[in-house]
Amino acid sequence: MPSSATTATASADTYSPLNLVLITGMSGAGKSVALRALEDTGYFCVDNLPPELIVQLLQTLQMQQQQRRRHVAIAVDGRSAASLPLLPQILRGLEGAAIDVKLLYLDASDESLVRRFSETRRRHPLSALSADASSGDRHQALAEAISQERELLAELKSLGSSIDTSLLRPSQLQSWVKTVVETPKSNLTLVFESFAFKRGIPVDADYVFDVRILPNPYYVAELRPLNGKDQAIQQWLEQSDAVNQMLAQLTHFLQEWLPAFINDHRSYLTVAIGCTGGQHRSVYFVEKLAQHFGKDHPTIIRHREIDA
Protein backbone atom coordinates (compact mmCIF):
# COMPACT_ATOMS: atom_id res chain seq x y z
CA MET A 1 0.00 0.00 0.00
CA PRO A 2 1.50 3.40 -0.96
CA SER A 3 2.29 5.55 2.01
CA SER A 4 2.93 9.03 0.60
CA ALA A 5 0.64 11.98 0.04
CA THR A 6 2.17 12.26 -3.44
CA THR A 7 0.57 8.98 -4.48
CA ALA A 8 -2.80 10.19 -3.21
CA THR A 9 -2.40 13.33 -5.28
CA ALA A 10 -1.53 11.43 -8.44
CA SER A 11 -4.75 9.41 -8.35
CA ALA A 12 -6.98 12.10 -6.90
CA ASP A 13 -8.69 13.07 -10.14
CA THR A 14 -9.90 9.49 -10.68
CA TYR A 15 -12.18 9.37 -7.66
CA SER A 16 -14.89 11.43 -6.03
CA PRO A 17 -13.55 14.23 -3.84
CA LEU A 18 -13.37 13.60 -0.12
CA ASN A 19 -14.22 16.08 2.62
CA LEU A 20 -11.78 15.55 5.48
CA VAL A 21 -12.10 17.10 8.93
CA LEU A 22 -8.93 16.52 10.92
CA ILE A 23 -9.61 16.99 14.63
CA THR A 24 -6.68 17.55 16.94
CA GLY A 25 -5.85 19.55 20.04
CA MET A 26 -5.38 19.03 23.75
CA SER A 27 -6.27 15.70 25.32
CA GLY A 28 -9.44 16.18 27.34
CA ALA A 29 -10.61 19.14 25.25
CA GLY A 30 -13.59 17.31 23.72
CA LYS A 31 -12.45 15.48 20.61
CA SER A 32 -14.78 12.55 21.31
CA VAL A 33 -17.73 14.98 21.53
CA ALA A 34 -16.68 16.58 18.24
CA LEU A 35 -16.41 13.20 16.54
CA ARG A 36 -19.88 12.19 17.74
CA ALA A 37 -21.30 15.44 16.38
CA LEU A 38 -19.85 14.72 12.94
CA GLU A 39 -20.82 11.06 13.05
CA ASP A 40 -24.42 12.13 13.66
CA THR A 41 -24.30 14.18 10.45
CA GLY A 42 -23.06 11.25 8.35
CA TYR A 43 -19.28 11.47 8.64
CA PHE A 44 -17.15 8.33 8.63
CA CYS A 45 -15.18 8.83 11.85
CA VAL A 46 -11.89 7.38 13.03
CA ASP A 47 -10.43 8.10 16.47
CA ASN A 48 -6.75 7.97 17.43
CA LEU A 49 -5.45 7.22 13.94
CA PRO A 50 -1.62 7.50 13.77
CA PRO A 51 -0.72 10.34 11.37
CA GLU A 52 1.39 8.04 9.20
CA LEU A 53 -1.76 6.05 8.32
CA ILE A 54 -3.92 9.02 7.26
CA VAL A 55 -2.92 8.94 3.59
CA GLN A 56 -3.44 5.18 3.35
CA LEU A 57 -6.94 5.49 4.82
CA LEU A 58 -7.87 8.29 2.42
CA GLN A 59 -6.57 6.33 -0.57
CA THR A 60 -8.67 3.34 0.46
CA LEU A 61 -11.80 5.47 0.80
CA GLN A 62 -11.18 7.12 -2.57
CA MET A 63 -10.83 3.74 -4.25
CA GLN A 64 -14.06 2.50 -2.71
CA GLN A 65 -15.95 5.51 -4.09
CA GLN A 66 -18.70 5.06 -1.53
CA GLN A 67 -20.78 8.23 -1.34
CA ARG A 68 -21.53 7.66 2.31
CA ARG A 69 -17.79 7.85 2.98
CA ARG A 70 -17.06 11.02 1.05
CA HIS A 71 -17.17 12.84 4.40
CA VAL A 72 -14.42 11.70 6.76
CA ALA A 73 -13.40 12.87 10.23
CA ILE A 74 -10.15 11.75 11.84
CA ALA A 75 -9.04 12.53 15.40
CA VAL A 76 -5.32 12.70 16.17
CA ASP A 77 -3.89 13.73 19.53
CA GLY A 78 -1.13 13.20 22.08
CA ARG A 79 -1.59 9.44 21.97
CA SER A 80 0.39 9.60 18.71
CA ALA A 81 3.04 11.88 20.17
CA ALA A 82 5.94 10.32 18.26
CA SER A 83 4.42 10.96 14.84
CA LEU A 84 2.49 14.21 15.49
CA PRO A 85 5.29 16.29 13.89
CA LEU A 86 4.37 14.61 10.59
CA LEU A 87 0.93 16.22 10.46
CA PRO A 88 1.88 19.60 8.91
CA GLN A 89 3.78 17.82 6.13
CA ILE A 90 0.87 15.44 5.54
CA LEU A 91 -1.57 18.36 5.30
CA ARG A 92 0.65 20.12 2.79
CA GLY A 93 0.84 16.92 0.76
CA LEU A 94 -2.94 16.72 0.57
CA GLU A 95 -3.36 20.27 -0.74
CA GLY A 96 -3.03 19.14 -4.35
CA ALA A 97 -5.28 16.10 -3.97
CA ALA A 98 -9.04 15.99 -4.54
CA ILE A 99 -9.51 16.31 -0.79
CA ASP A 100 -11.08 19.27 0.97
CA VAL A 101 -9.22 19.41 4.29
CA LYS A 102 -10.32 21.33 7.37
CA LEU A 103 -8.25 21.26 10.56
CA LEU A 104 -10.17 21.72 13.79
CA TYR A 105 -8.10 22.37 16.91
CA LEU A 106 -9.81 21.91 20.29
CA ASP A 107 -8.26 23.74 23.21
CA ALA A 108 -9.03 24.40 26.86
CA SER A 109 -7.40 26.15 29.77
CA ASP A 110 -4.92 24.20 31.88
CA GLU A 111 -7.29 24.53 34.85
CA SER A 112 -10.16 22.98 32.91
CA LEU A 113 -8.01 20.11 31.62
CA VAL A 114 -6.65 19.31 35.08
CA ARG A 115 -10.19 19.28 36.47
CA ARG A 116 -11.49 16.99 33.73
CA PHE A 117 -8.70 14.46 34.11
CA SER A 118 -9.06 14.56 37.89
CA GLU A 119 -12.82 14.02 37.73
CA THR A 120 -12.58 11.09 35.33
CA ARG A 121 -9.38 9.72 36.91
CA ARG A 122 -8.03 9.06 33.43
CA ARG A 123 -4.32 9.29 32.82
CA HIS A 124 -3.00 11.84 30.36
CA PRO A 125 -1.50 10.09 27.29
CA LEU A 126 1.83 11.86 27.85
CA SER A 127 1.97 11.09 31.55
CA ALA A 128 4.40 8.34 32.53
CA LEU A 129 3.37 8.49 36.16
CA SER A 130 2.98 5.13 37.91
CA ALA A 131 -0.41 4.12 39.23
CA ASP A 132 0.73 4.08 42.85
CA ALA A 133 2.08 7.65 42.89
CA SER A 134 0.88 10.02 45.56
CA SER A 135 -1.94 12.48 44.90
CA GLY A 136 0.42 15.46 44.93
CA ASP A 137 2.86 13.87 42.48
CA ARG A 138 -0.04 12.85 40.25
CA HIS A 139 -1.25 16.45 40.02
CA GLN A 140 2.24 17.70 39.21
CA ALA A 141 2.78 15.05 36.54
CA LEU A 142 -0.60 15.92 34.96
CA ALA A 143 0.31 19.61 34.79
CA GLU A 144 3.66 18.76 33.21
CA ALA A 145 2.02 16.45 30.66
CA ILE A 146 -0.46 19.18 29.65
CA SER A 147 2.39 21.67 29.24
CA GLN A 148 4.37 19.17 27.14
CA GLU A 149 1.38 18.44 24.90
CA ARG A 150 0.63 22.14 24.42
CA GLU A 151 4.19 22.68 23.19
CA LEU A 152 3.99 19.62 20.95
CA LEU A 153 0.81 20.87 19.26
CA ALA A 154 1.76 24.56 18.99
CA GLU A 155 2.39 24.48 15.23
CA LEU A 156 -0.90 22.72 14.48
CA LYS A 157 -2.98 25.29 16.36
CA SER A 158 -2.10 27.99 13.84
CA LEU A 159 -3.12 25.87 10.84
CA GLY A 160 -6.86 25.62 11.41
CA SER A 161 -9.89 26.76 13.34
CA SER A 162 -9.52 26.71 17.12
CA ILE A 163 -12.32 26.25 19.65
CA ASP A 164 -11.86 26.91 23.37
CA THR A 165 -13.99 24.29 25.13
CA SER A 166 -13.15 25.36 28.69
CA LEU A 167 -16.65 26.62 29.47
CA LEU A 168 -18.69 24.93 26.74
CA ARG A 169 -21.45 22.42 27.29
CA PRO A 170 -21.29 19.35 25.01
CA SER A 171 -24.31 20.61 23.06
CA GLN A 172 -22.56 23.95 22.46
CA LEU A 173 -19.40 22.24 21.26
CA GLN A 174 -21.37 20.01 18.91
CA SER A 175 -23.12 23.05 17.43
CA TRP A 176 -19.87 25.01 17.02
CA VAL A 177 -18.14 22.04 15.35
CA LYS A 178 -20.94 21.71 12.82
CA THR A 179 -20.75 25.43 12.08
CA VAL A 180 -17.02 25.24 11.34
CA VAL A 181 -17.48 22.21 9.08
CA GLU A 182 -20.34 23.80 7.14
CA THR A 183 -18.50 27.10 6.53
CA PRO A 184 -17.25 27.40 2.92
CA LYS A 185 -13.51 27.03 2.46
CA SER A 186 -11.76 30.37 2.01
CA ASN A 187 -8.39 32.07 2.21
CA LEU A 188 -9.54 33.55 5.51
CA THR A 189 -12.54 32.74 7.70
CA LEU A 190 -13.45 35.24 10.40
CA VAL A 191 -14.72 34.05 13.78
CA PHE A 192 -16.45 36.60 16.00
CA GLU A 193 -17.06 35.46 19.57
CA SER A 194 -18.78 37.21 22.47
CA PHE A 195 -17.90 36.31 26.07
CA ALA A 196 -18.13 37.43 29.69
CA PHE A 197 -14.90 38.62 31.29
CA LYS A 198 -16.11 37.30 34.65
CA ARG A 199 -15.90 33.77 33.23
CA GLY A 200 -12.52 34.17 31.57
CA ILE A 201 -11.05 35.13 28.21
CA PRO A 202 -11.32 32.51 25.41
CA VAL A 203 -7.93 30.88 24.89
CA ASP A 204 -8.56 30.57 21.14
CA ALA A 205 -8.80 34.34 20.54
CA ASP A 206 -6.36 36.12 18.22
CA TYR A 207 -7.72 39.54 19.18
CA VAL A 208 -9.55 40.44 22.40
CA PHE A 209 -11.50 43.69 22.74
CA ASP A 210 -13.09 44.99 25.94
CA VAL A 211 -16.41 46.87 25.65
CA ARG A 212 -17.18 47.04 29.37
CA ILE A 213 -16.56 50.79 29.38
CA LEU A 214 -19.66 51.36 27.24
CA PRO A 215 -23.22 51.98 28.54
CA ASN A 216 -24.75 48.77 29.89
CA PRO A 217 -28.38 47.78 29.06
CA TYR A 218 -28.30 45.44 32.07
CA TYR A 219 -29.22 48.37 34.30
CA VAL A 220 -32.41 49.05 32.35
CA ALA A 221 -35.04 46.76 33.89
CA GLU A 222 -37.02 46.07 30.72
CA LEU A 223 -33.84 45.34 28.72
CA ARG A 224 -32.10 43.08 31.23
CA PRO A 225 -33.78 39.80 30.11
CA LEU A 226 -32.89 40.46 26.46
CA ASN A 227 -29.57 40.04 24.65
CA GLY A 228 -27.57 41.89 22.00
CA LYS A 229 -29.36 40.17 19.14
CA ASP A 230 -32.68 41.76 20.12
CA GLN A 231 -33.71 44.91 18.28
CA ALA A 232 -34.54 46.77 21.50
CA ILE A 233 -30.99 46.30 22.80
CA GLN A 234 -29.46 47.34 19.49
CA GLN A 235 -31.55 50.50 19.26
CA TRP A 236 -30.69 51.41 22.86
CA LEU A 237 -26.94 50.96 22.30
CA GLU A 238 -26.96 52.85 19.01
CA GLN A 239 -28.18 55.96 20.83
CA SER A 240 -24.70 56.16 22.40
CA ASP A 241 -21.99 58.08 20.56
CA ALA A 242 -19.37 56.02 22.40
CA VAL A 243 -20.84 52.75 21.12
CA ASN A 244 -20.94 54.01 17.55
CA GLN A 245 -17.41 55.38 17.79
CA MET A 246 -15.94 52.14 19.16
CA LEU A 247 -17.75 50.02 16.57
CA ALA A 248 -16.42 52.22 13.78
CA GLN A 249 -12.88 52.08 15.16
CA LEU A 250 -12.89 48.30 15.57
CA THR A 251 -14.27 47.89 12.06
CA HIS A 252 -11.54 50.13 10.65
CA PHE A 253 -8.81 48.36 12.61
CA LEU A 254 -9.82 44.91 11.39
CA GLN A 255 -10.32 46.11 7.83
CA GLU A 256 -6.82 47.58 7.90
CA TRP A 257 -5.09 44.40 9.08
CA LEU A 258 -7.06 41.63 7.36
CA PRO A 259 -4.81 41.70 4.26
CA ALA A 260 -1.81 40.99 6.46
CA PHE A 261 -3.47 37.86 7.87
CA ILE A 262 -4.38 36.71 4.36
CA ASN A 263 -0.82 37.29 3.16
CA ASP A 264 0.41 35.28 6.15
CA HIS A 265 -1.70 32.36 4.87
CA ARG A 266 -3.90 32.30 7.95
CA SER A 267 -7.05 30.25 7.48
CA TYR A 268 -8.93 31.59 10.52
CA LEU A 269 -8.91 34.77 12.57
CA THR A 270 -10.80 34.76 15.88
CA VAL A 271 -11.92 38.11 17.29
CA ALA A 272 -13.30 37.94 20.83
CA ILE A 273 -15.44 40.76 22.23
CA GLY A 274 -16.00 40.79 25.98
CA CYS A 275 -18.30 42.58 28.38
CA THR A 276 -19.30 41.89 31.97
CA GLY A 277 -21.96 39.23 31.47
CA GLY A 278 -21.57 38.35 27.80
CA GLN A 279 -25.26 39.05 27.15
CA HIS A 280 -25.70 42.52 25.72
CA ARG A 281 -22.82 44.72 24.56
CA SER A 282 -20.42 41.99 23.44
CA VAL A 283 -23.20 40.15 21.61
CA TYR A 284 -24.22 43.37 19.85
CA PHE A 285 -20.67 44.05 18.67
CA VAL A 286 -20.20 40.50 17.41
CA GLU A 287 -23.45 40.64 15.46
CA LYS A 288 -22.59 44.00 13.87
CA LEU A 289 -18.99 43.08 13.01
CA ALA A 290 -20.09 39.76 11.51
CA GLN A 291 -22.77 41.54 9.48
CA HIS A 292 -20.19 43.97 8.09
CA PHE A 293 -17.36 41.54 7.31
CA GLY A 294 -19.67 38.72 6.25
CA LYS A 295 -20.23 40.53 2.96
CA ASP A 296 -16.67 39.72 1.86
CA HIS A 297 -15.50 36.80 4.02
CA PRO A 298 -16.93 33.54 5.36
CA THR A 299 -17.91 34.42 8.92
CA ILE A 300 -18.69 32.36 12.01
CA ILE A 301 -20.60 33.80 14.99
CA ARG A 302 -20.17 32.39 18.50
CA HIS A 303 -21.91 33.64 21.64
CA ARG A 304 -20.31 31.69 24.46
CA GLU A 305 -22.69 32.77 27.19
CA ILE A 306 -26.03 32.61 25.35
CA ASP A 307 -25.63 29.85 22.74
CA ALA A 308 -27.90 26.91 23.52
Residues forming the annotated binding site for ATP?
Answer: 25-32
Handedness of CA 247, 266, 8, 45 (dihedral sign): negative
Q: Cα-Cα-Cα-Cα dihedral of 223, 226, 230, 234, to 10°?
A: 40
CB 174 within 8 A of CB 34: yes
Residue numbers in the known binding site are 25-32, 77-80
3-state DSSP call for residue 161? strand
| Contact residues for 271 (Cβ-Cβ < 8 A; gap 6+) | 190, 191, 192, 193, 205, 206, 207, 209, 254, 289
Rounded Cα distance, 197 and 281, in Å? 12
Please enumerate, by residue number, every residue annotated as part of a binding site for GTP: 77-80
Alpha-helical regions (H) of 165-293: 170-182, 231-237, 241-263, 281-293
Query: Long-range contacts of range 139-147, CB-CB < 8 Å, 24 or more positions apart?
Result: 139/114, 142/114, 142/117, 142/118, 143/110, 143/114, 146/26, 146/27, 146/110, 146/113, 146/114, 147/110
Cβ atoms of 186 and 298 within 8 Å: the answer is yes
What whole-number distance in Å separates Cα of residue 98 and Cα of residue 62?
A: 9
